[in-house]
A and B are shown apart, each in its own frame.
Chain A
């Protein structure tokens, strides 16, 4: 689980530079929540593209997370990147005034997708590629909103577990107050990832590492001393979220079909 900070930094910076170059972008854009993942992504982007080519969008809903807003602003100041604050309350409230609900998940997903809409709009306005901020833990557990925070142009952090992002953050000298923050998806006040998932991140990542990276079976992982209920829950979350990691299936009719046997690289002619 231990990463080599300088090496991972080098690979991710080069990845951001090469992918933008291949697709004809000079600029990158990302949603900055003030949490650890988007902060680390902003640090990498600023180094890879130089600060004036990075735009961070801060997209608060009402005054729900005033601390995060403060942190996001301080990161922008620290990195000297471009930024814009866009309050998503009018759009979100307009929808829920017609289709009201108190369901926190529905409301949270709507907010995540509202932010995605704005990111894509600004991506086109500014000719800037969207840098995703989903980590490997979230991707594997499906702990994210499909077509919301999971949507991006490239996803530099997608092969690092949350605990590895903490290590990278330390190496990148991300301010301590951000590194020590309690992880939250920010869907509602008082939400924390660990409370919602019911398992501490260190343990989640250690279990995922055995299951995924080390290809261990459920029983092997349990015999390593991890709680059976934790291992089973994690396996269920992985299975139930496979749809979030794939394009939707297409029924095959023709001789050659998108997603089945029309097989081209992402970096085609790049």
Chain B
């Protein structure tokens, strides 16, 4: 029975049919990357892909910049990849015939133009590349010094439904999620390399709460699945906080990985919940993107220099 269902899934995937699944198995790799060593990180990816396939996962998600590590600074050009001509991506594309993959990397889009990007691979192809729009450049962050700025939040079709990707700080700007919602996203995937900050009474960093708060709110008010994959490990003393999670379209927490520990989380999610909750809470039906667009236009026009 399970075998039949899987066969059907892979057939659908190879035919490129979209959004026909009633449920899916999602795997999150809450890992630590080696800073600046793409080869080593690629092997870690292969290891986890293998593991996810054994678990019969349909989709495997890695954190932000999973192929390179985060605090790259002047290493950015050295580790950059152009996915269409890169042999590692050729291999990843092949692997994506069996399991859909989301991962983070430094993209050289045009010669000498680098982006903090994420790729969604499925059925042997790259379905979408998201380039991080909000590059944190304050306090301990300096991304805008090293990366070009992405210019879009796009919803794209996947075998499991309409999907959107965000990278870390993108997600802390709620307008990013709104654009994905307005674009019809049913699944929002956030890749993150969020360092922990601040003391908490609990056994975690105070900053983990802000991601969870956003996860719960965005999933509930977008009536969409919200999948957040954060990394762990240290880079230059910064400790990435882990605590990856999945929220249902109801805003209910479905799964949460431990804070700061490496983890591999596998969760079956019921895609029917999207329809169920959109019937009950018609936020999507009642959304008025044209009103928002016009109002934004007026707000922007009235900005004073």
Contacts and interface: CB of A to CB of B under 8 A. Distances in A.
Interface of A: 2-4, 6-8, 10-11, 14-15, 18-19, 262-270
A262 B73 CA distance: 9
Interface of B: 34-37, 71-75, 196, 199-204, 233-237, 239, 260
Contacts of A14: 234, 239, 260
Nearest to B259: A7
Contacts of A4: 199-203
Contacts of A262: 74
Given A4-B203, A11-B260, A266-B236, 8 more contacts: A2-B201, A7-B204, A11-B196, A263-B73, A265-B71, A265-B75, A267-B35, A270-B34
Contacts of A10: 203, 260
Contacts of B199: 2-4, 8
Chain B CB within 10 Å, residue with most, of A2, A6, A18, A267: A267
15 contacts: A3-B199, A4-B200, A4-B201, A4-B203, A7-B202, A7-B203, A7-B204, A18-B233, A265-B71, A265-B72, A265-B236, A267-B71, A267-B236, A269-B35, A269-B37
Given A4-B202, A269-B34, A11 B239 contact: yes
Nearest to B236: A266
Contacts of B37: 269
A10 to B, nearest CB: 7
Contacts of B234: 14-15, 18-19, 267
Contacts of A266: 236-237
Nearest to A256: B74
A4 B203 CA distance: 6
Chain B CB within 10 Å, residue with most, of A3, A15, A264, A265: A265
B239 A15 contact: yes
Contacts of A269: 34-37
Contacts of A18: 233-234
A265 B203 contact: no
B226 to A, nearest CB: 26
Contacts of B34: 269-270
A3 B36 CA distance: 33
Nearest to B142: A263
Nearest to B32: A18
Given A10-B260, A270-B35, A265 B235 contact: yes
A267 B235 contact: yes
A8 B260 CA distance: 11
Nearest to A158: B237
Contacts of A3: 199
B234 to A, nearest CB: 5
Contact of A268 (B35, B201, B233, B260): B35
Contacts of B196: 11
Chain A CB within 10 Å, residue with most, of B75, B200, B234, B239: B234
Nearest to A3: B199
Nearest to B72: A265
A4 B36 CA distance: 33
A-B interface, 5 closest residue pairs, ranked by CB to CB distance from nearest: A7-B203, A263-B73, A265-B71, A266-B236, A263-B74
Nearest to B198: A213
Contacts of B235: 265, 267
